[in-house]
Amino acid sequence: MGLGRTLLALAFGIGCGRLSPGDLPPADDSAEALHRLLQQLPAPEEERARQRDIWLRHFYQRRDGQPAWTGADGVHARADEVLLELDNAWLHGLNPEAYGRTPLRGAVTALRVGSSHDAAAAAAVDVGLTAAFLALADDLRRGAVDPAAVSVSWGVRRSSTDLSGLLATAISLDQVGINLRRLAPASPEYRRLQRALVEAVGGTAEDQAPSAELLRANLERWRWLPRDLGPQYLLVRIAEFELDLVNNGQRQTRRVIVGEPYRQTPQFASEVTHVVVHPPWRVPPRIADEELAPGLDPERGAVRLGALRQEGFEAWNYAGQPVALDSLRWVSTDGFSSKYRLEQRPGGSNPLGKVKLELENPFSIYLHDTPGAGLFTRLGRDLSHGCVRVEGIVDLVRQLLQSSTSAARQFEVLLASAETGRVELPTPVPVYLLYWTVSVTAAGEIHAATDLYDVDRRLLEVLQQAAGAAWWLAPVLQLYFRQQQGS
């Protein structure tokens, strides 16, 4: 019986069964059918699908071309573990059908009720189950979509490890389901979001609780992150205007000011290795070009130059030579920042305040103090050019230095002086700047924030279009049915 007619029979209630011993083919028939199918599969064009295609072929190479899910006894029980995990993909906010849940379940059942062996069908099921495992495993491990497709300012990079070895190990240990589940984030926050999703889908959530769609978006954001953030780290929750100091699971929270919607604070991971006390402010090129340089136009230059001088600004050319402020001129056709570098001395109106935490990143973003402490009382604190102003950052630095008496003393001496200086942290501290519109409080409560930068809509669109295992399943089924029609 062909697979198409078998599926039709299933609709009329035929039960499950196994291949009878007399109908089993020699092992090399299945291997040959599998080999032919892999040869006929087209190479995907999209980068991530190409990676998964390589893993799939590596997996069968590890097995010397032998099938993994089908064999002398029909379809192995481990196939049911994969199908169960596909059923449960929605618990992660993922679409089970993106991994071929329905056609794979039907094809597995069709093989089991067939009265004769169909080598092509067995090969299609084998490749389909492998593709589904690898796609779901990859999506659980690093997210279903590339975060760079949602935000141009994403800076948390994770490698695309070959998952064929993981699948080979899972098969050998007969632990397919548990190895898939272990790839998802294990943090309490992720699991709490999952419970909230179950409540939202089941209609038991309170009216003010986040929607299932928002929960899906934020579960995806968790999957983008490294699984271990470290025993101590700083976490800036951009959309919630807050920073957490997390130390062995204990969290202290401070208010922050982040970038305006048209000067968004980017998402990235870095670490802070030192503190700059009484930092000068090196004016970013964009601010110099758009805000300071236009005031130097010849008609009103004298007024603006006086203000710059009073506020402690100095100028250099890119050869490192000081330039008199009086000599600075600007016309709209000039690229001011390509000629001059502006810097403001510490103190007074310097926007960095008393302390700056340097972060290595391509966006020139750092954490710093501010002379405008009154702004922390505002509810909407998207007010900066992108850098993050931290309330009580001096006390935060003291906490980061408390394990080193000498560093703590050096910090206090510099703080009491008017001198610029640098203090090394005893241990580098990871820093994560992340954008969550649904998060979990320290008490385990779900909290929704305003989508400050209007990115949820785009994320959900891309998540809805995530390919899953389609790159393999579509051609696998097409090739199989073409073979059926030709037989």
Q: Please list the active-site residues.
A: 368, 387
Q: Rounded CA gap, 404 and 426, in Å?
A: 6
Which of 436, 450, 440 is closest to 193 using CA atoms? 440
438, 193 Cβ separation under 8 angstroms: yes
Per DSSP, 96 falls in state: G
Residue 322 pairs in a beta bridge with 316
How far, CA to CA in Å, does 487 sit from each of 244, 320, 379?
64, 79, 70
Q: DSSP secondary structure string, 285-338? A: HHHIIIIIGGGGSTTTHHHHHHHHHHTTEEEEETTS-EE-GGG----TTS-HHH
3-state helix, strand, coil in the chain (%, to 5): 45, 15, 35
Q: Would you tell me the crossing angle of helices 101-113 and 3-10 to the nearest 10 degrees?
A: 100
> Is 56 exposed, middle or buried (CB count within 10 Å of its CB: 0-12, 13-18, 19+)?
buried
Half-sphere exposure of 249 (CA within 13 A, CB side): 5
Token pair in block for residue 4: 């198409």
98, 468 Cβ separation under 8 angstroms: yes
The SS3 call for residue 111 is helix
147, 156 Cβ separation under 8 angstroms: yes
- Residues 6+ positions from 383 with CB-CB distance below 8 Å: 257, 258, 260, 375
